[in-house]
Amino acid sequence: MHIIGSDPTSRTAGQYARATVTRLRLRTLVTLGVLAVATASLGRLFGLHSGLFISSEVALLVSMFVISRYVLPLLDRRDRGATGEEQVGGLLDGLADGEWRVMHDVSFGRGNVDHVLVGPAGVFTVETKSHPGPVRVGQVHGRTLSQAQAQRRAIEQVTGVNVEPLLVFSRAWVDRPMARRKGVRVLPARMLSGYLARGGEMLSREEIDRVHGLLETALSDHEAHARRQ
């Protein structure tokens, strides 16, 4: 997923997730507002005992129940997810002052990668999770690992270099930090910067700029194609 109309090479951390939360909140408020106004209007026009008024009142009550039972919990999860991406993105943006290139909300049309890093230690994708944990590496859901691997393959296809997928928990305690499961390294956010700093010298400055340029070009081309659709 992507946000048409924004610069795909300079998005902020959690931009898509935060926009989704805002959009869902607005739709929820509009839905409740429309139902409330319609109910009041029908009551005035046909009386409080009319079938139309009673039906609209029932619809309003049902909508309030559905929103409280399903929509509000969904909004809460989405909001925590956006906050987690923003938190991790803030840590990574600190690396961008040096030799690292950091990109957020990277999308080529099939889902989005929370963060992509290109630096001396290599190329990394970062999938951020925000639930509080604790997290046991051996029990991380297979779908989450498959998502991280799919993100790795997408970036490798664009850059032609090996990519390491990272699964980063913004709030959780991880029982075996830095351990890998099915090729995905799992770690808490507090250890992310240190892990990247200890990665050694895998890419030269020229290679960093080249890989980053390939990503920028691919993102711009995808955005231009999406605009034409």
Q: What is the model's pLDDT at position 1?
A: 44
Q: What is the model's pLDDT at position 6?
A: 59
Q: What is the model's pLDDT at position 166?
A: 97
pTM of the model: 0.76
Q: What is the model's pLDDT at position 146?
A: 94
How big is the chain, counted in residues?
229
Q: What is the model's pLDDT at position 8?
A: 66
Please, what's the b/e burial string for 130-167 (b: 16 or more CB within 10 A of its CB; e: otherwise)? Answer: beeeebebeebeeeebebbbebbebbeebbebebbbbb
* Mean pLDDT in order along the chain per 10 residues (229 residues): 56 76 83 80 76 78 78 76 82 81 84 90 93 88 93 93 95 92 94 88 92 91 74
Percent composition of the chain: helix, strand, coil (DSSP 3-state, to 5): 60, 15, 25
DSSP string, 136-179: -GGG--HHHHHHHHHHHHHHHHHH-S-EEEEEEESS--BSSTT-
User: Which of 73, 56, 163, 59 is closest to 118 using CA atoms?
Assistant: 163
Q: What is the model's pLDDT at position 117?
A: 94
CA distance 116 to 155: 8
Class of domain 99-228: alpha beta
C-beta separation of 125 from 115 below 8 A:
yes
